[in-house]
Amino acid sequence: MSRVLLIDDDIGLSALLKEYLEGEGFQVDAVHDGETGVRRALDGGYAIVVLDVMLPLVNGIEVLRRIRETSQIPVLMLTGRGDDLDCVVGLELGADDYVPKPCTPRELVARLRAILRRAAQTGTPEEGLETLRAGPLTLWPERRRAHWQDRPLELTSTEFNLLEVLARHAGHIVSKETLSVQGLGRPLARYDRSIDVHLSSIRHKLGLLSDGRSWIQSVRSMGYQLIRE
């Protein structure tokens, strides 16, 4: 049973979502302020955090920033519909995905399961694990570990998913639709900027080629390509 921490100051909505999620097999704790949310997210042994942007005193963006200082726990953000800036900032700070409010509990469950499915660690011993290499990148998908130029590469769960998809097709263009389905676990939505923001973060972590180009190239109207060297 996956443990979910719900951070939302709307007590009525929290109770509704908690009841629905528990009916779907999750174990849910709800807190209603950012300070408590940060503390519980870092100390509570949760599998995932559902975080509302609009919180009093300490807003959701600041809560996410504090969580990401020390933890890569998956975070799904709840944002106001049409608040594109909140979505982009949240993704840039390391949120794994976002759902615009008002959202249906069914959609929330689907997003949670997609993130958790891709974040799950098998616990398989190191021997015999698949090793995926693309230039200076090495991935161990079952262990969710990544090295870049022989050094550990810190990635969020979603960043790992997207980089794995690109690595499996290194040297070839991967469409945004494929990246969304295989990396985010959902079809690409119209005007969805999630993939672009996640890949911008990955680019920053990888640095540049010797000629100044990014290791991840954007191919207009087609998708993205991980350079293999």
User: Could you give the domains of the chain?
Assistant: 3-119 (3.40.50.2300), 132-226 (1.10.10.10)
What is the tally of helices (H) and strands (E) in the chain? 8, 12
pLDDT (tens, 9 = 90+) of the chain, 229 residues, equals 699 999 999 999 999 999 999 999 999 999 999 999 999 999 878 999 999 999 988 999 999 999 999 998 999 999 886 677 888 899 999 999 999 888 889 999 999 998 998 777 544 444 456 899 999 999 998 888 899 999 999 998 899 999 999 999 999 999 999 999 999 888 888 888 899 999 999 999 999 998 999 999 999 889 999 998 7
For the entire predicted model, the pTM comes to: 0.77
